[in-house]
Chain A
Amino acid sequence: MSAPVTGRDVDSEADPVIGSVVDERGRRKDPLRRMIALARPRSARFALGVLLGGAATGSGVALLGVAAWMLATAANHPSITALSVAVVATRALGVSKGVTRYLERLVTHDAAFRTLAQVRVRVYERLARTEPFVRFRSGDLVSRLVNDTEATLDLLVRGLTPPLVSVVTGGATVLVLTAVYAPGGLLLAAGLLLAGLAVPLMAAALNRKPGLREAEARGTLSTALVDTLHGAPDLVAYGAMDRHVARVNEADAELTRVARRDAATLGLSEGVNTLITGLTVWGALFSGVLAVEEGTIGPTALAVLVLVTLAAFEIVAPLPAVASRLGAIRASGVRLFGVLDAPAAIAPPAQEGLEIDPDVDAPVHIRDLRVRYGPEEPWALDGVDLEIPAGATVAVVGPSGAGKSTLASVLLRLRDPDGGRVEIGGTDITAYPADEVRRVVSGVPEDPHVFGSTLRENLRLAKPGAGDDELCAALRGARLAHDVEAMPQGLDTRVGSHGLGLSGGMVRRLALARAVLAAPRVLVLDEPTAHLDPDTRDAVVADLLAAAEGFSTLLITHDLTGLDRVDRIYVVRDGRVLQSGTHTELLAEDGWYRRVHER
């Protein structure tokens, strides 16, 4: 297994092009069909799976048909040679069903996992181009997107193959039976269509309303429950627990009432399917008996007709379950393609491959910068002017929601400005490829991520070839070296989702070490002290400013600790710069900074 941050040369990777799946025409298509289209590169494997599945189901039906023919023939007491083929066939069919079923499951699962691996890459590549940071800020949404991706697997294994197998086997069975006795074949076709197609669709339509009702009742219950359990201390302290438990029980009663009322509808499809099966067999028997009396078919054909009809309903048995899952899978598809269809957050530069001169100082000038998250949304940044002279440390402060993080994401090329310019060394940053800007501008994002890997690999992310002494130097700069040395496995300690959970302070320090290691010329630090105890906050800010020595630094924070050490402070509120100056100047001025600082 390769860790997520294993080194690999960046520039050798061509910009991935998303295939036909997300083209303009595709956007109007049914999400289920688009999900299935994702499997197209594996269509040969899926076809093999369908053939094997057809062979498995067909073996079961054929077994009973051949056996019925054998018994009917044997009843006439012919010589044993007349039966020898049937005897061999029966035994072969008895073995082939299990074997082909086993192979079918292996083949379809393999094909589906291959497709899933590919879909993951596509989703990832798409996300990498579409600034996931605003829309996917909540961890819930990210894990839902990942689950939606996995839903493709469910659709392919349980939603695509069984219907195709049913069509293949059902069609073959009907053809054979039609050859024996045409009305019997047509009758079976009607029965299979009803049981395999009409009833599941009817059930899905009938269940939609009860499903919604139940979802609503369950939502109410869930909210009341979350309230009562999360708010338990408040409820106990204020003597309101009994009232809220009553609220939960009321919601529970409503959910139970809805579920019981709808049981009559939900139980319908099972009964109707049993009825269709029974009546089709009865129809085959009745019409067959009449045909024998008329002399259209012989008594042997009657036995085959009835027993094949009896066995044939196994063909459509998996379909109701498929129909009931499709709704959820479709919903996953809608969300999935919502992401795949989202436009890129950064337009490609007009001219390819422009590079930032490595020898020139890189002062940053921001002029009249405007950003908003949608045409109807208010301006997150509404005409910001700001300057980071080469080698200077500049702080941007302001209340939460002022637009500070938006500023960071524009500088890090996570999104394009909607108006104004950001210049590095006098050139607009949109003229460069995004990764070229990020070579010069790097830092600690709003929510730095620790990957489920070792400390070493988490650090090397910033500088793939870095040796251990370089890593240790970076850790020392972030005052993390001591903690790492105390870990028994040192740099090989596994961290993140599959290892040691780091404290909030350690995550920030690790992110800082990573940013220092990347050695950009402009360091952007977005809320480096968020979620820290006041105790640790001072220490982290001091370390930050010490580590940022020699970089041009933009420090974004809502906390005014340690700002006497920065060169210039900008106060941002509602997307505009309210004040700017040094710590001393701002304290002398009557305004937001002084008011907040005095508290």
Chain B
Amino acid sequence: MKPLDPRLVRTASAVRVHLAVTVVSGVLITGLILLQAWLLSRVITGVRAGDGMDVLGPLIVLVAVVALTRALLSYLAETSALHSAARTKSQLRRRLIAHVTGSGTVWPAEGGDGRDGSPKVGELVTLATRGLDALDEYFARYLPQLVLSAIVPLAVLSVVFWADWISGVVILVTLPLIPIFMALIGMHTQQRTDRQWKLLSRLGGHFLDVVEGLPTLAIFRRAKAQAAIIREVGEDHRKATMGTLRIAFLSAFALELLATLAVALVAVEVGLRLLGGHMDYQTALLVLILAPEAYLPLREVGARFHASMEGVAAADQVFTELDRRRDDGAERPSPAPTGRPSPATGGDLRLRGIGLRYPGRDTPALSELDLTLEAGEHLLLTGPSGSGKTTLLSLLLRLREPTEGRIEVRAPDGEWTPLWDVPVEDWRAGIAWVPQHPYLFDVSVADNIRLGSPDAGLDRVREAARLAEADGFVQALPDGYETRLGERGTRLSAGQRQRIALARALCRDAPLVLLDEPTAHLDPENATAVRTAVARLLEGRTAVIVAHDTGWAESVSGDRLRTAHLPLPTERVSP
């Protein structure tokens, strides 16, 4: 992985500012390190030579000034780094969210099981919050050290060369050995550790597995015996881990050993020449004080490398997401929306030779489908799971485009037109959709119900809730319609959530209704309430209802009900 991702510099303007600040403060800090070393060696030598306070006083004051300046500089650099990190995170986050919500990456549908490698929603949320937070460490700790590790050794080396070229040669020879040795050891150990990590993660997962399975173990009287096995596995885990660590710690060992040994060599070599009178005391001290400084930044960068790489990895993931494009089938620009529901939603609709194939799949989800739906008709779609019922709904919602055939619509008193000539926003504005698992948002109940009609007043919201058999339990909530529902509407039961979704559909008052197995996972009591609400919703509207079985026919009866059974397109091979 690159220490500094060029995409990061290109994408986030805050990064460029940060780099500039970091380089400037790096140069200043280097200067201060050199100055302090010279001052210390000068004063110590001066005292020995008998210089008085008149000479040494100003120099000692200067040491204090250097300390103050360095502290101030490091404070400012750190603060500025945190500022930049916050801004960069915000910039990346906004781009990520705009991209993900705009491109349809997060629209699950039948078959959208992440086989194309797109991440789950939970992973995206973690990436956008905790994941990006790792950039703090990267910006505030790693990048400044990286800059210092480029400047300080060079500056120290130059000064030492100028003061005493023999010591300069010692440092010049040992310094590059550090990265070379680390790379060599790293390459050697990489393969071995990779193999070991697999084993390690398996051993590590054992404890979680056993704790999760505790009820099962208890029932079969295996719970107590398992303790001894946990102990054994823990011991295996330790042995395997230590085997890995013995090698993994080697690179740190090489670094530490070389850095310290080089300082010792310089010290002895300088001391012996000082003894022989080939060198003066001040130069010797200067070289001794500066020598460790040449190695320090390298060690710091090494120590911070892994923690900071999490930040780089997070940024890398963001860029991977930004580069990902979802193949929606035919890319066709939609006409500009008019802001009003399309009249075609109140008319007839027909599917002609519709086919849809998810990318990366061998069998199409739908093929050669012909279907007509007249205004006011209720179409009950049945069929086994995997037959493409939900996929068909997502086509009608235009969450996806068919890969073959076309959908045509006809407004009352209008002509047949292809659906793609209707602005997508206008089309959806005339649809009320109740999915299998409706999503409720962490806002008030009222705002959840008026999701598709933001201007609806409380009266209309309550009327919709009443028709959806939801008014009763909403009234019983602590703040009634103003109660916040919590993340994913966890305050409510599945049946109650379904009824809120129906209220949402009723509130929208759209001419076309799409229902996806509205009672599939409900207990019988809730299912009844939902069916009553559905019957009210369907009154006077065109509808497509997806259901597992035909038991629905009775409850949503009416002379306009028609049933279509979706067959399996081809034999599915079970894994």
Taking CB atoms, residues of chain B closer than 8 Å to A255 are: 90
B275 within 8 A of A: yes
Say yes or no: is A581 at the interface (Cβ < 8 Å to chain B).
no
Tell me which residues across on chain B come within 8 A of A279, comparing CB atoms. 64, 67
Query: Would you list the 6 A-B pairs with minimal beta carbon distance, nearest first?
Result: A278-B67, A94-B264, A117-B234, A271-B75, A98-B257, A449-B213
A299 at the interface (CB under 8 A from B): yes
Contact between A128 and B218 (Cβ–Cβ < 8 Å)? yes
Q: Which of B68, B207, B221 has the most CB of A within 10 A?
A: B221
Q: Which chain A residue has the least Cβ–Cβ distance from B127?
A: A225
Comparing B5-13, B145-153, B432-440, the segment that makes contact with chain A is B432-440
Whether A558 is near chain B, meaning CB under 8 Å from some CB there, is: yes
B257 CB, min distance to chain A CBs, angstroms: 3
Are B107 and A233 neighbours in the complex by a CB distance under 8 Å? yes
Q: Which of B121, B212, B230 contacts A229 (CB 8 A)?
A: B121
User: What residues on B are CB-neighbors of A6 within 8 Å?
Assistant: 229
Q: Chain A residues with Cβ under 8 A from B213's Cβ?
A: 4, 449-451
Distance from B239 Cβ to chain A, minimum over Cβ atoms (Å):
9
* 29 interchain pairs, CB-CB under 8 A: A13-B225, A70-B267, A71-B271, A71-B281, A71-B284, A90-B264, A93-B264, A94-B261, A114-B238, A133-B215, A145-B211, A226-B487, A234-B451, A239-B428, A245-B101, A252-B97, A256-B89, A259-B89, A270-B74, A270-B78, A275-B70, A278-B66, A285-B60, A289-B47, A289-B60, A292-B47, A412-B219, A599-B524, A599-B528
One of B215, B245, B262, B292 near A109 (C-beta < 8 A): B245
Interface residues on B, range: 35 or more
Per-residue interface assignment for chain A, residues 95 to 110, with 1 indicating a CB less than 8 Å from any chain B CB and 0 otherwise: 1011101100110011
Answer yes or no: B18 CB below 8 A from chain A CBs: no
Choose from A94, A99, A222, A253 the contact partner of B263 (Cβ within 8 Å): A94
A486 to B371, CA, bound (A): 39
- Which of A71, A228, A514 is within 8 Å of B274, CB to CB? A71
Residue-wise, chain B 191-225 has the 8 Å CB interface mask toward A (1 for contact) of 00000000100110111111111111111111111
Residues of A within 8 A of B549 (CB): 534
Considering the complex, give the chain B residue whose CB is closest to the CB of A86: B271
Complex Cα spacing A106 to B125, Å: 37
Q: Which B residues lie within 8 Å of A125 (CB)? A: 227
Asked whether, in the complex, the Cβ of B271 is within 8 Å of the Cβ of A67, the reply is yes
Complex partner residue of A16 from B128, B224, B285, B384, CB under 8 angstroms: B224
Which chain B positions have C-beta within 8 A of A303?
44, 285
Given A63-B263, A230-B488 in contact, is the A497-B281 Cβ separation under 8 Å? no
A399 to B496, CA, bound (A): 14
A212 to B249, CA, bound (A): 36
CB within 8 Å for A5 and B222 given contacts A222-B125, A293-B53, A449-B216:
yes
**Is B215 in contact with A105, judged by CB distance below 8 angstroms?**
no
Which B residues are in CB contact (< 8 Å) with A443? 219
Interface residues of B in 231-281 (CB under 8 A from A): 231-238, 241-242, 245-246, 249-250, 252-254, 256-258, 260-265, 267-268, 270-272, 274-275, 277, 281
Contact with B along A136-148 (1 / 0, CB 8 A): 1001001101100
Q: How far is the CA of A524 from the CA of B57 in the complex (A)?
A: 89
Contact B260 A74 (CB under 8 A): no
**Does B462 touch A at the CB level, under 8 Å?**
no
Say yes or no for B124: interface residue by CB 8 A criterion: yes
- Residue B154 is within 8 A (CB to CB) of chain A in the complex: no
Question: Closest CB of chain B to A85's CB: distance in Å?
Answer: 12
Whether B289 sits at the interface, judged by CB under 8 Å, is yes
Interface flag for A1 (CB, 8 Å): yes
B205 touching A497 by the CB < 8 A rule? yes
Query: Which chain B residues lie closer than 8 Å to A127 at the CB level?
Result: 211, 214
Q: Which residues 390-410 of B sit at the A interface, judged by CB distance below 8 A?
A: 397, 399
From B79-87, B322-330, B362-370, give the one contacting chain A: B79-87
Contact A233 B108, beta carbon cutoff 8 Å:
yes
Q: Which residues of B contact A94 (CB under 8 A)?
A: 260-265
Residue of A nearest to B274 (CB): A74
By a beta-carbon cutoff of 8 Å, the part of chain B in contact with chain A is 36, 40, 43-44, 47-48, 53, 56, 60, 63-64, 66-68, 70-72, 74-76, 78-79, 81-83, 85-87, 89-90, 93-94, 97-98, 100-101, 104, 106-109, 121, 124-125, 128-129, 140, 199, 202-203, 205-238, 241-242, 245-246, 249-250, 252-254, 256-258, 260-265, 267-268, 270-272, 274-275, 277, 281, 284-285, 288-289, 292, 384-385, 397, 399, 425, 428-429, 431, 433, 435, 438-442, 451-452, 454, 487-488, 493, 504, 508, 523-525, 527-528, 531, 548-549
Inter-subunit contact A232/B101 (CB<8 Å): yes
Q: Which of B47, B74, B78, B292 contacts A64 (CB 8 A)?
A: B292
Known: A64-B288, A142-B211, A399-B523. A237 touches B428 (CB 8 A): yes
State whether the Cβ of A343 lies closer than 8 Å to any Cβ in chain B.
Answer: no
The binding surface of chain A is classed by DSSP as helix
Chain A proximity of B347: nearest CB distance (Å): 19
**Residues in A75-132 with C-beta less than 8 Å from chain B:** 75, 77-78, 80, 83, 86-87, 90-91, 93-95, 97-99, 101-102, 105-106, 109-110, 113-114, 116-118, 120-121, 123-125, 127-128, 132
- Residue A310, interface by CB 8 Å: yes
Q: Are B86 and A240 in contact (CB under 8 A)?
A: no
Shortest Cβ distance from residue B407 to the other chain A in the assembled complex, whole angstroms? 16
A307 touching B232, Cβ below 8 Å: no
Q: Please indicate which of the listed interface residues B213, B238, B242 has the most CB atoms of chain A within 10 Å of its own CB.
A: B213
Contacts A1-B236, A125-B227, A599-B524 given: A260-B86 contact, CB under 8 Å? Answer: yes
